[in-house]
Amino acid sequence: MPPYVSRASGALLIVAGAYVAYELRVLAGGDPADPVVDAALTVQRNLSGGVSEFGPGWITAAVVVLVSAGC
Protein backbone atom coordinates (compact mmCIF):
# COMPACT_ATOMS: atom_id res chain seq x y z
CA MET A 1 0.00 0.00 0.00
CA PRO A 2 1.44 3.42 -0.92
CA PRO A 3 2.44 5.54 2.11
CA TYR A 4 0.13 8.41 1.18
CA VAL A 5 -2.93 6.18 1.63
CA SER A 6 -2.30 5.72 5.35
CA ARG A 7 -1.58 9.44 5.78
CA ALA A 8 -4.73 10.41 3.92
CA SER A 9 -6.85 7.98 5.93
CA GLY A 10 -5.37 9.32 9.17
CA ALA A 11 -6.18 12.89 8.13
CA LEU A 12 -9.72 11.83 7.26
CA LEU A 13 -10.13 10.24 10.69
CA ILE A 14 -8.97 13.44 12.37
CA VAL A 15 -11.43 15.53 10.37
CA ALA A 16 -14.27 13.10 11.13
CA GLY A 17 -13.42 13.14 14.83
CA ALA A 18 -13.39 16.92 14.88
CA TYR A 19 -16.79 16.96 13.21
CA VAL A 20 -18.23 14.55 15.78
CA ALA A 21 -16.82 16.68 18.61
CA TYR A 22 -18.41 19.77 17.04
CA GLU A 23 -21.79 18.03 16.69
CA LEU A 24 -21.69 16.82 20.29
CA ARG A 25 -20.91 20.34 21.46
CA VAL A 26 -23.79 21.82 19.47
CA LEU A 27 -26.22 19.10 20.60
CA ALA A 28 -25.25 19.85 24.20
CA GLY A 29 -26.44 23.43 23.70
CA GLY A 30 -23.19 25.05 22.60
CA ASP A 31 -22.96 27.94 20.16
CA PRO A 32 -23.07 26.61 16.58
CA ALA A 33 -21.02 29.58 15.32
CA ASP A 34 -17.49 28.31 14.84
CA PRO A 35 -14.66 29.92 12.82
CA VAL A 36 -13.36 26.50 11.67
CA VAL A 37 -16.78 25.51 10.35
CA ASP A 38 -17.17 28.91 8.71
CA ALA A 39 -13.78 28.47 7.01
CA ALA A 40 -14.75 24.98 5.81
CA LEU A 41 -18.02 26.34 4.42
CA THR A 42 -16.09 29.06 2.57
CA VAL A 43 -13.77 26.45 1.03
CA GLN A 44 -16.76 24.31 0.07
CA ARG A 45 -18.51 27.32 -1.49
CA ASN A 46 -15.39 28.20 -3.51
CA LEU A 47 -14.91 24.61 -4.72
CA SER A 48 -18.56 24.38 -5.68
CA GLY A 49 -18.29 27.66 -7.59
CA GLY A 50 -15.19 26.38 -9.39
CA VAL A 51 -16.93 23.18 -10.44
CA SER A 52 -19.89 25.21 -11.70
CA GLU A 53 -17.62 27.61 -13.57
CA PHE A 54 -15.35 25.05 -15.25
CA GLY A 55 -17.87 22.27 -15.65
CA PRO A 56 -17.47 18.59 -14.87
CA GLY A 57 -15.93 17.79 -18.26
CA TRP A 58 -12.84 19.93 -17.70
CA ILE A 59 -12.42 18.70 -14.16
CA THR A 60 -12.68 15.08 -15.30
CA ALA A 61 -10.09 15.75 -18.00
CA ALA A 62 -7.74 17.31 -15.42
CA VAL A 63 -8.12 14.30 -13.10
CA VAL A 64 -7.44 11.90 -15.97
CA VAL A 65 -4.29 13.82 -16.90
CA LEU A 66 -3.08 13.84 -13.28
CA VAL A 67 -3.77 10.13 -12.81
CA SER A 68 -2.07 9.32 -16.12
CA ALA A 69 0.98 11.35 -15.06
CA GLY A 70 1.17 9.37 -11.83
CA CYS A 71 0.48 12.25 -9.45
**Domain map (residue ranges) of the chain:** 3-69
For the stretch 18-56, pLDDT in tens is: 889 888 988 898 887 878 778 888 999 999 998 888 888
Beta-carbon contacts of residue 18 (< 8 Å; ≥ 6 apart)? 36
Instruction: Please state the pTM of the whole predicted model.
Output: 0.47
> Helix, strand, or coil here: 31?
coil
